Amino acid sequence: MSDLADRRREEKERRRDEILAAAVQVAGTTGIDAMTLELVARQARLSRALIYVYFTDKDDLLFALCERALSRLVDGFRAATLDGRDGRDRLAGMGRAYVAFAVEEPVCFEVLARCEARDTGELPPGGNVAACLARGDEVHRLMVDALRAGTADGSIRPALQDADTVATVLWGFVHGVVQISATKRALLERRGVDTERLLDRAMELALHAVS
């Protein structure tokens, strides 16, 4: 590839990243529902026409954000499991990384939750939807690998042989609790439930269920 082609590719990737960063800023201010491509273009200081060069519509942009969020989760999961003594330890590290991601990047977590709730069969195949699904599969595989390692090293109950199903149950449980802590804060306070303790207790229960 020529130097010119390299520069063009790098410029295109840089501008795409700028658009995604602008989308996060807009969604953080207006909310995801009120976010429009026009507002994103204004935040990125680009023409609306140029935004459409990179993203066909709002759904396409949201799934690009979702893929980016999942990429960060993959990196976070891998970093959190480097020092894991066994499979259970690796799962615990992933859980902590997931909670930290939701707390530190609430907009990206909300995008992730919304996209994962969509029926992707109703969306155009390929593009950012396919990339998002592929990255989600990568997150799932990391959990499955930890579960299988745990059943092999004895840190996870040997009866839990269906790692794909167990990984899905654990994800659904932790994801649901994290969503409640993020969206029902006033209700939790009314009931005297501390969100930090709620997340800690959820992790304890999830790990207890598999060990």
The average confidence (pLDDT) of the chain is: 92
What is the model's pTM?
0.89
SS3 track for 85-107: CCHHHHHHHHHHHHHHHHHHCHH
**Residue 110 has which token pair?**
């909300």
**Residue 90 has which token pair?**
């690796």
Radius of gyration of the chain (CA): 19
Mean of pLDDT values over 134-160? 94
Alpha-carbon distances, residue 157 vs 28, 84, 144, 153 (angstroms)? 42, 17, 14, 10
Q: Give percent of the chain above pLDDT 70.
A: 100
**Residue 124 has which token pair?**
């155009």
Kindly report, residue by residue over 155-199, the tens digit of the pLDDT. 999 988 899 999 999 999 999 999 999 889 899 999 999 999 999
Query: For residue 145, is pLDDT > 70?
Result: yes
Determine contact, residues 68/21, Cβ cutoff 8 Å: no
Full set of structural domains in the chain with CATH: 1-55 (1.10.10.60), 57-210 (1.10.357.10)
pLDDT band at 43 (very low <50, low <70, confident <90, very high): very high
Integer Cα distance of 116 and 133 in angstroms: 9
**What amino acid occupies position 21?**
A
Sign of the alpha-carbon dihedral angle for 122, 124, 125, 128: negative
pLDDT of residue 120: 76
Mean of pLDDT values over 68-73? 95
Integer Cα distance of 35 and 146 in angstroms: 38
Query: For residue 2, is pLDDT > 90?
Result: no
- Residue 99, Cα to own-chain centre: how many angstroms? 10
Integer Cα distance of 92 and 98 in angstroms: 10
Mean of pLDDT values over 54-71? 95
Nearest to 111 by CA among 27, 43, 54: 27
Mean of pLDDT values over 11-40? 96
Query: For residue 124, is pLDDT > 70?
Result: yes
Query: For residue 122, is pLDDT > 80?
Result: no
More reliable by pLDDT, 94 or 2: 94
Query: For residue 1, is pLDDT > 60?
Result: no
